[in-house]
Structures are given as C-alpha cells and as structure tokens.
C-alpha cells in the first residue's frame, strides 16, 4: 500500500508539472495558439460534412504544441530550461522541449483563404469561409465557419478533336469514355482534373510524345450553364511548342559503362563496341556487352515510351553493380518528317570488391557467455556479367558454467558461398519486361555445431533456383534444387539415454536428407508507396522433397521398403504454407494489423514424419507472444510448464493455424504502443502415442491457445526495437482448457504466465 501511495503521489506531481502555466513567459501582446476548429453550415443538406471537415482540418497551419496525457509536456520542458542554450539544459531544450506556437492573425487569415480555395477546388463555388478567435488566459483558439451550398457537378466534358498526330492520340486516350477520369454527373474536383491531365500525358509519353507536358493541356470550366452544373472543355494550349506535337523514335542507344566526371564522351575513342544494336563505351572492358542488351528495353528505331525508359533505369539499378545511373535523350536531325532521339546512359560502377567483419557477444540467464566472429567477402562483377559472388565464414563459442558440474562448451563454425547471376540460366528462354532483372542464384554451405556434453551436428546444404519479380509488389522464387544433409556424431552416453526416452528430442538431431524443390510467391502492396486505407500482404509456399526418387524407387516405409541415398533415408513430404496480412489505416498514426496463417505438412511413402527443420511450431516473439517460444501443442498435449520445470524442448507439429491482431498507435516521438491478441496452435496428422491429444480432430477450435498483451515499439526508421508483454488467457491443457482471466497477481503466477518478449522489427 505504501508503494502504491508513493506512486499515486508521483503521478499527481507529474501531472501538475505538465499542466503548469505555460503562458507566464509570454509578452503582454502574445498568446499561445492552441488550435482551431471548423464548423460547416450546409444549406443544401447534401454535403458529406464529416469527410469535408476532415479534409479542411488537415489544411490548418501551424500545428499547436503537442500534448501528452492532456498536458503540453514538451512546451513545459522548454520553459523550465529558461534561456539555457548550452550544456544539458540546452540539449533538453532543443531535443525534448518545443518552443511555444504563438498566435498569428496573418496565419489565421491565410488559413481562411486556403480553406476557401479548397472548397472552390471541390466544386463549392461562391461559398464563404469566415473565422473568429477566442482568447482566454493568453490562449487563443481559432474558429472557422464554412457556409456551403450545393456542390457543382460535371455536365459535358469535351477534348481536342483534330487530324494531327497529337489530336488523334488524345482522342484515343479518352475513347471509350470509360477511360477518362472525368465522368458525367461526378462532383467537380480540381484534383481529378489534374489527374486526368497526367493520365493523358502518361499515355502520350508512351506513344512517343517525348516533349509533351500536362501543362500543355488547359481545362476550361464553365459554371454558368445553370442548375449547379459545370462544362469542362479540355484543349491544347496555343503556345504549345512544335516539338511537343510530334512522335519521336529512338535512333541510337549509347552506354557509357564506366562513367565519371572525367570520362571522354566522344564516340571516336578506343574501346567503343557495337553489340545488339547498342553502342557500348567501355575502354577497360569491365563488363560483357550482353549485360546491357539484357537490361535495356529500348531498340533502335522503336518509338520512345516512358515505360521503357523507366524499366531500363530500374533494371540497371537492380543489377546492384552501379551506384549512379543516369539517362539523357538528345534530339537529332529530322528526316522525311520523322523525329529522332539519341539515348545516352551514364553508368558509374560501385566498388567491385568489399569485405565485412562482424563481432558479437552474448550472455544468458543460464550462466552462458560467448560470442561469434564472421567475415564476408563480396565481388559484384565476378565474371564481368554483373554477377554477385559472396563468400562468408563464421565461428563462435559459448561457455556455460554450472556449479558442481563440468563446464559446457558449445562451438559453431562454418561457411557459405553464393553466386547470383542477373539472368535465367536454363534450357528454355525466359523474358520479362519487369523493372527487375530476373536472377539465378546458387548457394552451398557447411556448418559444424558441437556441444561437448551431448553431441556434434554436421550439416551441408546446397540450392539452385530462380528469382523474378512481376512488379515491385510481386515476387516469385523457384528453388529447383534444394539439398540439405544433417548427420549427428559424438553422441555422449548420458545424452543417448535421454534420446532413448524422448522421441521429440531424438527427432531434433536425427539424420536428415532433404532433396526437392520449393516455390514461393509474395505480394506486398505496401512496397509501393500509397495512401490507401487498406493494404495487403500474402505469402504462399510449396515445399516438396523426395517425391521423384520415391516414385521411381517404389519407396514404402510402412511395408519395410524405406530407400536411402548415401546410406541415409531421404525425406519424402509435401509442405504447404500460406500467410495473409491486412493493414487497416484508422488515421495517420494508428493502424489495425491482422494476420492469418495456415500450414500443412504431410510425410508419406519413404517417411513417417516431417523432418524436424520442416515442422511447424507455436509460441514466441513473432507468434503467440504469451507462450514460451516453440513450446505450444501439438493439440492439447502438455509437455510441462517451462517456467516450473526449466528447459522444455521444442514441440513440432504437422499442421498450424494462427490468427493475430494488433492495434498500433503513436504515443510520442519515436515511441509507439500496441495492444494485441494472438490465437493458434499446431497439430499432428497421425496419432502419436507419446504425445496424446496431439492429432488434429473436429474439436480443434477447443484446442486453440489464446493470449493478449501490450507492447512498445521504438521506431528509429532504420531499426525498430520491440518490447511485448504477453499473457495467456486460454491454454490448451489436457482434457480441454478454459479461459484464465486477470485474477491472480501473485509473484509466482506472474512468473509462470507473463512473457516478456524483446525483438527487432514488427511481428508482422
């Protein structure tokens, strides 16, 4: 009770400090601006006043001093530091404090004019905005009243019609009428008119009108036709330059492959080469010419298209070999009524080779301490075809000191090599007009993991596949060949006795041979900047292993016909996984994020169970945050309370269902808060006598685990640090779980049920 009393006194004192008088430092003729409100008086009773008010509110400037918990804390800190400009006080004043936002009548009048203009741009012609102010205790608030009538709507929309190249193309851009953004009976909206000009301009740019501009289109609005209607007559300005009225073709494409400010840009120098219709200037032969024929979209003699222009630039950038990419188009002599452009690409290569060294240290609550060193080397143009080659080696050690027991040493070291080629290496042709170069990627790796008191694991892996993107938002990955071999050795007698009695633990280090293919599709609407209220994310994955060898060899483990490769039974399974996310933008600083995930793995013929590394797990920092990582399930099987019995091994499952929802909102500065609910579990496809209650059945809903919690996110743009406090409200215990409400605040209950998660990045 005493602690609560002190806490209460502290909170009251803090509140009084925050709410202290922030106006006593102002001069006699000054007042603190505390914001403005807007009232809309609609004489027509037809306006969407709520939406209109939100739009007008967003235009008000300046923003008043920020509030935290009802008080202007930042302004208070600014005032408390007085006139200090140096030292800690000066730092607090600049970084934490915020100077007072003073009332300015000229700013308020400017707001009135801006609101008036916005109403006119929305079709509320001849309507009026007035403003007034109220001042009390040196605090001024603005009051705006918008008197609006019926909104004007479009009646007739006409576009240029003539026999010129430009006139014909504009006619095609708006025919049929449904192509146009301007629709009869739609409300008059200046932004939509501007968007229509941009749409027409974009189409013209893709039809060869390189020098055209949307500013050459003039939209004349006639609001005098009566009955709150407007006629729009779109015309081409008389002063439009002649060159903007003609279609341009590409005559020559020149690539300066090793450009800097001192580069000789003449085409008569040594090292100029013709390849695939392009002129390549690369005196030192740093790149194979075919790199550019694959990346560039333009062909000699083709019509200039802005899409081809942008795609070529994007493809050159995504090669990862050039740090600067610039294009320039220069008109050349016209002949026989045709207009031509020469295209020049200036490419500045990035550093070809780089080396990176990393060191990390760790300490754990189980008296383990250690660290890891890694060294990686990159070559961004290995075979002169913009290939990325990466070679990395790493090694680490962890030492655990336990009282009255021998020390435990854990060693981990290995290496990886990968090469990424900016094209599809295959016996078939693969072409794409995406802004991203398709890639072929191959990797090999080896790792040794040794725990001196238990076992050693040797693992080798290799992959070969393709990566291509339809667009910025859609990506495909096809791993044609996926190889993973794991072999345990040096198993101690004491650990072997544990393996003999714990099948889950035994499966985690068993020999594994995975050979198959993987396909992954990803869609993320947020990769393309937008202001939509709804955004979506989808990731689908199909993982196959051992199917072709199993079919050919007639493998059937249940009939005693288990087949092997190099003496190890290979895994045969089908694994499917799909994840869907929805982000609903409530306002500028608040988002409701939701996720649904489903996965299924089925082992057959040469295997009776899924490989441990391909199994599904539930619980953890990015999963069900009220439960220990990978400890849930399967089903209502209960392996024990990790908080009570100590270490609890991972609990794999063949199926998984998970649902999450999280309300995220900005608190202040870089700090964001979250309220979340997670639900889900894993299940087995086949009955397991050692894990009763684990098989999926019609009662799966009663076996769903549920947790809730709160969190903080420290969003530093380049890095997000996350702290989540989760607590289970439903556990799938044997015989069926029940809801556990916040009824027991004993320390032992909190220790066993509250989960503190520290992580980097958002959970989804």
Q: What pLDDT does 735 receive?
A: 67
Please tell me the least confidently modeled range out of 82-96, 360-374, 579-593, 627-641. Answer: 360-374
Q: What pLDDT does 311 receive?
A: 92
Over residues 590-609, the pLDDT tens digits come to: 999 999 999 999 999 999 88
Examine the pLDDT at 425 and tell me if it is beyond 90.
yes
Please tell me the least confidently modeled range out of 157-166, 332-341, 379-388, 617-626. Answer: 332-341
Give the pLDDT band (50/70/90) at residue 86.
Answer: confident
For residues 569 and 565, what is the distance between their CA atoms, to the nearest angstrom?
6
Same domain for 696 and 592: yes
Looking up tokens 């640090």 gives: 721
Examine the pLDDT at 348 and tell me if it is beyond 90.
yes
Report the Cα 698 to chain-centroid distance in Å.
Answer: 36
Average pLDDT over residues 354-381: 85
- Identify the CATH number of the domain in which residue 202 sits: 3.10.20.310
Q: Quick check: is 406 in a domain?
A: no
Same domain for 168 and 124: no
Same domain for 272 and 177: no
Over residues 239-250, the pLDDT tens digits come to: 999 999 999 999
Average pLDDT over residues 4-24: 56
The Cα-based distances of 727 to 280, 371, 673, 678, 741 in angstroms read 63, 32, 17, 10, 10
Examine the pLDDT at 338 and tell me if it is beyond 70.
yes
Q: What pLDDT does 750 receive?
A: 66
Top mean-pLDDT range of 185-194, 640-649, 722-731, 738-747: 185-194
Give the pLDDT band (50/70/90) at residue 268.
Answer: confident
Same domain for 110 and 14: yes
Among the candidates 148, 169, 189, a domain finishes at 148
- The better pLDDT of the pair 114, 633 is held by 114
Q: What pLDDT does 734 receive?
A: 78
Domain range for 196: 153-245
- The better pLDDT of the pair 2, 741 is held by 741
Examine the pLDDT at 745 and tell me if it is beyond 80.
no
Q: What percent of the chain is predicted at pLDDT more than 90?
A: 62
Same domain for 219 and 340: no
Examine the pLDDT at 16 and tell me if it is beyond 70.
no
- The better pLDDT of the pair 146, 179 is held by 146
Please tell me the least confidently modeled range out of 14-18, 231-235, 421-425, 613-617. Answer: 14-18
Looking up tokens 């609560």 gives: 4
Give the pLDDT band (50/70/90) at residue 333.
Answer: confident
Average pLDDT over residues 313-341: 90
Q: Quick check: is 456 in a domain?
A: no
Average pLDDT over residues 155-179: 89
For residues 598 and 578, what is the distance between their CA atoms, to the nearest angstrom?
6
Same domain for 202 and 163: yes
Average pLDDT over residues 219-238: 94
State the burial class of residue 622 (Cβ atoms within 10 Å of its Cβ: 0-12, 13-18, 19+): middle
Examine the pLDDT at 712 and tell me if it is beyond 90.
yes
Same domain for 666 and 567: yes
Tokens encoding 10: 């502290």
Q: What pLDDT does 747 receive?
A: 61
Examine the pLDDT at 406 and tell me if it is beyond 80.
no
Burial 349-377 (b: 16+ CB within 10 A, else e): beeeeeeeeeeeeeeeeeeeebebebebe
Examine the pLDDT at 519 and tell me if it is beyond 90.
yes
Give the pLDDT band (50/70/90) at residue 649.
Answer: low
Q: What percent of the chain is predicted at pLDDT more than 70?
A: 92
For residues 192 and 34, what is the distance between their CA atoms, to the nearest angstrom?
34
Q: What pLDDT does 115 receive?
A: 96
Q: Quick check: is 457 in a domain?
A: no
pTM of the model: 0.80
Q: What pLDDT does 1 receive?
A: 44
Same domain for 516 and 571: yes
Over residues 101-110, the pLDDT tens digits come to: 999 999 999 9
Q: What pLDDT does 718 receive?
A: 80
Same domain for 163 and 140: no
Summary mean pLDDT of the chain: 89
Examine the pLDDT at 566 and tell me if it is beyond 90.
no
Distant-in-sequence, close-in-space partners of 560: CB < 8 Å, separation ≥ 6: none
For residues 507 and 606, what is the distance between their CA atoms, to the nearest angstrom?
16
Beta strands in 422-553 (DSSP E): 439-451, 455-469, 474-489, 512-524, 534-545
Q: Quick check: is 510 in a domain?
A: yes
**Number of domains the chain contains:** 4
Same domain for 143 and 62: yes
Q: What pLDDT does 15 receive?
A: 47
Q: What pLDDT does 402 receive?
A: 63
Give the pLDDT band (50/70/90) at residue 644.
Answer: low
Tokens encoding 584: 């609903």
Average pLDDT over residues 376-391: 96
Q: Quick check: is 484 in a domain?
A: no
Examine the pLDDT at 557 and tell me if it is beyond 60.
yes
Among the candidates 224, 245, 266, a domain finishes at 245
Examine the pLDDT at 22 and tell me if it is beyond 50.
yes
Among the candidates 314, 349, 384, a domain finishes at 349
Examine the pLDDT at 306 and tell me if it is beyond 90.
yes
The answer to whether the beta carbons of residues 276 and 293 sit under 8 Å apart is yes
Convert 675-731 into a string of H (helix), E (strand) and C (coil). Answer: EEEEEEEEEECCCCCCCCCCECCCCHHHHCEEEEEEEEEEECCCCEEEEEEEEEEEC
- Give the bridge partners for 86, in sequence order: none
Q: Quick check: is 354 in a domain?
A: no
Examine the pLDDT at 234 and tell me if it is beyond 80.
yes
Q: What pLDDT does 90 receive?
A: 87
DSSP SS3 for 597: strand
Q: Quick check: is 364 in a domain?
A: no
- Identify the CATH number of the domain in which residue 626 sits: 2.40.160
Same domain for 730 and 581: yes
- The better pLDDT of the pair 510, 678 is held by 678
Same domain for 603 and 728: yes
Q: Quick check: is 134 in a domain?
A: yes
Report the Cα 699 to chain-centroid distance in Å.
Answer: 36
For residues 714 and 723, what is the distance between their CA atoms, to the nearest angstrom?
9
State the burial class of residue 138 (Cβ atoms within 10 Å of its Cβ: 0-12, 13-18, 19+): middle
């Amino acid at each position: 009770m005493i602690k609560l009393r002190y806490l209460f006194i502290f909170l009251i004192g803090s509140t009084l400090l925050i709410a202290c008088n922030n106006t006593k430092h102002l001069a006699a003729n000054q007042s603190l601006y505390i914001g403005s409100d807007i009232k809309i008086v609609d004489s027509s009773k037809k306006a969407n006043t709520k939406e209109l008010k939100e739009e007008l509110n967003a235009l008000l400037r300046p923003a008043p001093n920020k509030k935290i918990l009802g008080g202007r804390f930042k302004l208070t800190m600014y005032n408390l530091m007085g006139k200090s400009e140096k030292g800690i006080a000066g730092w607090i004043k600049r970084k934490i404090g915020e100077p007072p936002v003073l009332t300015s009548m000229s700013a308020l009048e400017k707001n009135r004019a801006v609101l008036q203009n916005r109403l006119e741009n929305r079709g509320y012609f001849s309507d009026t905005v007035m403003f007034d102010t109220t001042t009390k205790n040196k605090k001024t608030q603005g009051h705006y009243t918008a008197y609006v009538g019926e909104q004007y709507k479009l009646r007739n929309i006409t576009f240029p019609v003539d026999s010129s190249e430009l006139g014909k193309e504009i006619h095609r851009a708006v025919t049929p009428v449904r192509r146009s953004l301007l629709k009869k009976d739609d409300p008059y909206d200046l932004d939509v008119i501007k968007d229509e000009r941009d749409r027409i301009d974009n189409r013209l740019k893709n039809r060869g009108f390189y020098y055209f501009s949307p500013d050459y289109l003039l939209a004349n609005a006639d609001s005098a036709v009566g009955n709150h209607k407007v006629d729009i007559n779109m015309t081409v300005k008389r002063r439009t330059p002649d060159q903007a009225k003609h279609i341009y073709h590409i005559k020559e494409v020149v690539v300066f492959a090793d450009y800097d400010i001192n580069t000789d840009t003449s085409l008569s120098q040594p090292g100029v080469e013709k390849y695939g219709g392009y002129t390549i200037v690369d005196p030192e032969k740093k790149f194979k010419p075919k790199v550019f024929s694959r990346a560039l979209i333009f062909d000699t003699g083709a019509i200039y298209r802005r899409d081809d222009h942008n795609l070529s630039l994007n493809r050159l950038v995504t090669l990862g070999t050039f740090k600067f990419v610039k294009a320039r188009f220069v008109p050349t002599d016209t002949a026989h009524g045709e207009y031509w452009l020469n295209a020049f690409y200036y490419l500045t290569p990035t550093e070809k080779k780089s080396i990176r060294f990393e060191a990390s240290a760790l300490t754990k609550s189980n008296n383990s301490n250690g660290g890891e060193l890694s060294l990686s080397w990159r070559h961004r143009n290995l075979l002169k075809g913009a290939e990325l080659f990466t070679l990395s080696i790493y090694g680490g050690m962890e030492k655990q000191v336990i009282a009255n027991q021998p020390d435990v040493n854990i060693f981990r070291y290995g290496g990886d090599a990968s090469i990424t080629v900016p094209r599809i290496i295959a016996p078939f042709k693969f072409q794409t007009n995406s802004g991203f170069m398709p890639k072929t990627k191959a990797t090999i790796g080896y790792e040794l993991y040794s725990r001196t008191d238990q076992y050693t694991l040797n693992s080798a892996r290799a992959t070969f596949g393709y990566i291509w993107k339809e667009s910025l938002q859609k990506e495909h990955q096809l791993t044609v060949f996926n190889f993973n071999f794991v072999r345990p050795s040096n198993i101690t007698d004491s650990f072997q006795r544990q393996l003999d009695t714990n099948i889950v633990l035994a499966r985690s280090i068993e020999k594994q041979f995975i050979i198959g293919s993987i396909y992954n599709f990803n869609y993320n609407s947020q990769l393309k900047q937008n202001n939509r209220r709804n955004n979506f994310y989808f990731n689908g994955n199909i993982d196959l292993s051992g199917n072709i060898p199993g079919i050919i060899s007639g493998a059937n483990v249940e009939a005693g016909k288990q087949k092997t490769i190099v003496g190890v039974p290979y895994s045969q399974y089908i694994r499917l996984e799909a994840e869907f996310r929805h982000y609903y933008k409530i306002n500028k600083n608040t988002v409701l994020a939701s996720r649904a995930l489903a996965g299924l793995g089925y082992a057959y013929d040469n295997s009776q169970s899924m490989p441990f590394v391909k199994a599904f797990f539930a619980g953890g920092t990015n999963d069900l945050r009220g439960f220990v990582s990978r400890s849930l399930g399967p089903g209502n099987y209960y392996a024990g309370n990790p908080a009570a019995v100590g270490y609890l091994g991972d609990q794999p499952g063949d199926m998984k269902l998970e649902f999450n929802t999280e309300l995220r909102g900005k608190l202040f500065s870089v700090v964001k808060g979250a309220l979340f609910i997670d639900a889900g579990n894993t299940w087995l496809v086949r009955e397991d006598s050692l894990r009763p209650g684990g098989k999926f059945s019609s009662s799966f809903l009663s076996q769903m685990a549920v947790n809730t919690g709160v969190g903080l996110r420290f969003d530093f743009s380049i890095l997000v640090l996350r702290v989540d406090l989760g607590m289970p409200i439903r556990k799938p215990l044997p015989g069926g779980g029940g809801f556990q409400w916040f009824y027991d605040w004993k320390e032992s209950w909190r220790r066993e049920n509250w989960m503190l998660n520290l992580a980097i990045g958002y959970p989804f």
